[in-house]
Structure 1
Amino acid sequence: MPTEPTPTSGDSDARMWSRLTALHAQVETRLAAALQRRHGLGLSEYRALGLLAEAPRGELRMQDLAAGLGLNQSSVTRLVARLHAADFTYRDACPDDKRGVYTVITDPGRARRQEARATYEETLGTALDEAAAAAPDLAPLLDTARRSLG
């Protein structure tokens, strides 16, 4: 009679990773909905404005913005076009390399990001609290991450 295979650490890792990616997707969906509903911003747009606001002189090369957001060049180009159309950013040529293009945050872009920040932080905190309550086995992990990274 065949026996059940013994679970391996790889099985455990795969289950843990699956749970974390599901949690990530759930939280990202909540953040995206709240930002869109309250501020008319997509989640990537909010994050792009944040990276730009924190960058020296409020500007980043397109490839640096793409890397910071985890997007490919095509996706970041479309994202920047939306931000530009909303007057949240403008494009500027790199003085050292005429092929290089910077994306620069505008005052309205800084203001929109600042307005949306409280929504982002409140929604994130609530989503993580609810995730910890719904999945008590994840609560210690979330608590540790909050304490060590916060």
Structure 2
Amino acid sequence: MDAEIWNQVVTLHGRVEHRLGKELQRRHGIGLSEYRALCRLSKADDGELRMQELADLIGLNQSSVSRLVARLESAGLSRRDLCPRDRRGVYTVITDEGRAVQDTAAPTYYGTLTEALDESAADPRVAPLVTALRSMLTPA
């Protein structure tokens, strides 16, 4: 039973992630990881997070988040900063341009997510999972 549930999760996750990534790239020129990083940074205190904290929040390893932050910096969407209390700590800080990109891309993200889940709800292989996930967050 657990394996069946997990297979549904993997199928649904892959389908939704692919769709989100494709639309964000097509409409805004950013990848899904970049969008998620910008979202996390925009909600963080002072718009900054330690690199390791950002990695944990978006599900990347340290080297992957370093490459991601380098891409954000190259695009002017974030910048690095040293921790004033601990010079070894490196933060990434969202820029005004990064906030603007995140704000502009948010409707695409949320609209595409809803569309992908609606389509998946019509697929009998993953429909029960979509229904269960949606019911968890719907007020009774």
With structure 1 as the length reference, what TM-score do the two structures score?
0.87
Equivalent of 2:78 in 78, 86, 89:
89
Could you say what secondary structure the match of 2:60 adopts? Answer: coil
Whether 1:79 aligns to 2:68 is: yes
Q: Gaps (5+ residues) in structure 2? A: none
Of 127, 131, 134 in structure 2, the residue corresponding to residue 146 of structure 1 is 134
Q: Map of 1:40-79 to 2, 5 A cutoff? A: 40-79=29-68
CA shift, 1:13, in A, is 1.4
The answer to whether the aligner puts 1:37 opposite 2:26 as a matched pair is yes
Residue-pair matches, total: 138
Deviation, 1:142, is 1.9
Distance 1:19 1:68 in 2: 23
Residue identity opposite 2:91 in structure 1: Y
Indicate the RMSD between aligned Cα atoms, in angstroms: 1.3
| TM-score of the pair, normalised by structure 2 | 0.93
User: Is the CA contact (8 Å cut-off) linking 2:8 and 2:129 kept in structure 1?
Assistant: no
Q: In the TM superposition, what is the alpha-carbon distance from 1:16 to its structure 2 partner? A: 1.8
Aligned-partner Cα distance in 2 for 1:149–1:51: 21
Gaps of 5+ in 1: 1-11
Percent of counterpart pairs with the same letter? 58
Q: Note the C-alpha offset of 1:140.
A: 4.2
Q: Deviations over 1:33-87 (max 9, x none)?
A: 0000000010000000000000010000000001101111100000000000000
Give the 3-state SS of the residue equivalent to 2:81 in structure 1.
strand
**What SS does the aligned partner of 1:29 have?**
helix
Choose which of 90, 101, 107 in structure 1 pairs with 2:90.
Answer: 101
Residue 122 of structure 2 aligns to a residue whose secondary structure is helix
Structure number with greater Rg is 1
